[in-house]
Chains A and B, each alone.
Chain A
């Protein structure tokens, strides 16, 4: 069995998502289930309840400490967003955080992912997007494939970084050469196994390209740009220092105004600092 088969196999052995998330998803999909019923499901898990309340009150959502119950959180933030917060918390806690790859730790990668989530949500909001629930989650999950490599092929992954640095090639190409599969492909396989919505699967698979096989996609473009901005602002660490040039397609897709990113900078850094503290520290 070669390394890429071994890695794909490892996905089948990965734990399924916690039952809590599946029960919540079912409850949300059931049009007759009330917010009270949903709140009661979350309340069965004490640590999730606490964390959901903290995240709901973080500056990211703008309620500034006014939410003091899960049912309020559902009311103000919305069912789907709450479901996504539970999913985020479940995924982060389902991976161990012990591995240290010469200064590249999963915790730094999670910090990078949180940054991309925070930036994506902020940009989408600034662009007038109404349905904001998927942006944070998409950012959090975009590099999930790298987490799998760190967990299941840490020695080989070390070689990936050495090769990328030595030959000055992008991580995706180095991954292909050494592991036979890149982090976008393996991440999408995991997301599929976890039945994460296809819109998010597309982000995982195409975030480095900025579009779905040249077809414009707003969410994919935002995460593509946010990933670059997280590197620019040095929020978290994803394994390399070089800042990539954005794919030209995103400017037409997003129609960003000049100076918008600069004006969001302070809020982004503030939201990031708060959210990282809440979720991983």
Chain B
């Protein structure tokens, strides 16, 4: 489900469903882009009033907050930087465990 929303209702973490074009027809924000703080400026400059985002929008912005939370939990456990692909694998396994236990807590 897509939703046509006003720029005033746009929040970080929402996903753009239809490419946003300026008055000359050039794509300024592509489909699938996750809205971040920096995009608001671009939209304002080009005077965009409405845009189409992917539903469910509230879940998407919530997910973004969750991701930050999970990343913080990971940083508490792992205080080193991976030096090879095996260490990257260990970090991704740690993230899986954190995700699993956070599901139980919610």
User: Which A residues contact B (CB, under 8 angstroms)?
Assistant: 228-229, 232-234, 241-246, 248, 251, 256, 258-259, 261-262, 265
**B101 on the interface (CB 8 Å rule)?**
yes
In the A-B complex, list the 3 residue pairs whose CB atoms are closest, starting with the nearest.
A245-B80, A232-B94, A243-B77
Proximity bits, B38-53, A CB within 8 Å = 1, else 0: 0000000000000000
Instruction: Point out the residues of chain B lying under 8 angstroms from A251, CB to CB.
Output: 84, 86
11 other A-B residue contacts (CB within 8 Å) besides A229-B90, A262-B93: A232-B93, A233-B93, A242-B76, A243-B77, A243-B94, A251-B84, A256-B86, A259-B89, A261-B86, A262-B92, A265-B93
CB of B89 within 8 A of CB of A243, answer no
Query: A242's contact among B79, B85, B87, by CB below 8 Å, is which?
Result: B79
**B97 on the interface (CB 8 Å rule)?**
yes
Query: A234's contact among B78, B86, B92, B101, by CB below 8 Å, is which?
Result: B101
CB of A245 within 8 A of CB of B87, answer yes
CB of A262 within 8 A of CB of B89, answer yes
Between-chain CB contacts (< 8 Å), 15 pairs: A232-B90, A232-B97, A234-B97, A234-B101, A241-B76, A242-B76, A242-B78, A243-B78, A246-B86, A246-B87, A258-B85, A258-B86, A259-B89, A261-B86, A262-B92
Instruction: Point out the residues of chain B lying under 8 angstroms from A241, CB to CB.
Output: 76-77
Instruction: Point out the residues of chain B lying under 8 angstroms from A228, CB to CB.
Output: 90
Residue in B closest to A168 when the chains form the complex, CB atoms = B79
Residue in A closest to B85 when the chains form the complex, CB atoms = A258
Residue in A closest to B96 when the chains form the complex, CB atoms = A265
Instruction: Point out the residues of chain B lying under 8 angstroms from A248, CB to CB.
Output: 83
Report how far A258 CA is from B84 CA in the complex, Å.
Answer: 10
Q: From residue A222, how far is it (CB to closest CB) to chain B in Å?
A: 14
Report how far A256 CA is from B89 CA in the complex, Å.
Answer: 12
Instruction: Point out the residues of chain B lying under 8 angstroms from A243, CB to CB.
Output: 77-78, 90, 94
CB of B90 within 8 A of CB of A258, answer no
Report how far A229 CA is from B90 CA in the complex, Å.
Answer: 8
CB of A258 within 8 A of CB of B87, answer no
Instruction: Point out the residues of chain B lying under 8 angstroms from A229, CB to CB.
Output: 90, 93
Instruction: Point out the residues of chain A lying under 8 angstroms from B84, CB to CB.
Output: 251
Instruction: Point out the residues of chain B lying under 8 angstroms from A245, CB to CB.
Output: 80, 87
Residue in A closest to B80 when the chains form the complex, CB atoms = A245
Residue in A closest to B95 when the chains form the complex, CB atoms = A232
Q: Which of B13-60 contact A (CB under 8 A)?
A: none
Q: Which of B63-106 contact A (CB under 8 A)?
A: 76-80, 83-87, 89-90, 92-94, 97, 101
Report how far A265 CA is from B83 CA in the complex, Å.
Answer: 22
Residue in A closest to B92 when the chains form the complex, CB atoms = A262
Q: From residue B22, how far is it (CB to closest CB) to chain A in Å?
A: 44
Residue in A closest to B77 when the chains form the complex, CB atoms = A243
Q: From residue A53, how far is it (CB to closest CB) to chain B in Å?
A: 33
Q: Which of A242, A243, A248, A251 gathers the greatest number of chain B CB atoms within 10 Å?
A: A243
Report how far A242 CA is from B80 CA in the complex, Å.
Answer: 11
Instruction: Point out the residues of chain A lying under 8 angstroms from B76, CB to CB.
Output: 241-242
Residue in B closest to A250 when the chains form the complex, CB atoms = B86
Instruction: Point out the residues of chain B lying under 8 angstroms from A261, CB to CB.
Output: 86, 89-90, 93
Instruction: Point out the residues of chain A lying under 8 angstroms from B97, CB to CB.
Output: 232-234
Residue in B closest to A233 when the chains form the complex, CB atoms = B97
Q: From residue B5, how far is it (CB to closest CB) to chain A in Å?
A: 40
